[in-house]
Chains A and B, each alone.
Chain A
Amino acid sequence: DAKTTQPPSMDCAEGRAANLPCNHSTISGNEYVYWYRQIHSQGPQYIIHGLKNNETNEMASLIITEDRKSSTLILPHATLRDTAVYYCIVRGVYGNKLVFGAGTILRVKS
Chain B
Amino acid sequence: DTEVTQTPKHLVMGMTNKKSLKCEQHMGHRAMYWYKQKAKKPPELMFVYSYEKLSINESVPSRFSPECPNSSLLNLHLHALQPEDSALYLCASSQEGLQETQYFGPGTRLLVL
Spell out A's residues near B (CB within 8 Å): 34, 36, 41-46, 49, 87, 92-103
Contacts and interface: CB of A to CB of B under 8 A. Distances in A.
Contacts of A99: 45
A43 B99 contact: no
A90 to B, nearest CB: 13
Given A46-B103, A98-B45, 15 more contacts: A41-B109, A43-B4, A43-B92, A43-B104, A43-B106, A44-B92, A44-B104, A46-B101, A92-B99, A95-B97, A95-B98, A97-B48, A97-B98, A102-B42, A103-B42
20 contacts: A41-B88, A41-B107, A41-B109, A42-B107, A43-B90, A43-B92, A43-B107, A45-B104, A46-B102, A46-B104, A49-B101, A87-B42, A95-B98, A96-B98, A96-B99, A97-B56, A97-B98, A100-B42, A100-B44, A103-B42
Most B Cβ at <10 Å: residue of A44, A92, A93, A97: A44
A97 B45 CA distance: 8
Given A94-B99, A96-B99, A42 B45 contact: no
B37 to A, nearest CB: 9
A7 to B, nearest CB: 15
Nearest to B90: A43
Most B Cβ at <10 Å: residue of A41, A49, A102: A41
Contacts of B56: 97
A45 B43 CA distance: 12
Contacts of A94: 98-99
B42 A101 contact: yes
Contacts of B42: 87, 100-103
B101 to A, nearest CB: 6
Contacts of B88: 41
B46 to A, nearest CB: 11
Contacts of B4: 43
A36 B103 CA distance: 10
A44 B99 contact: no
Contacts of B92: 43-44
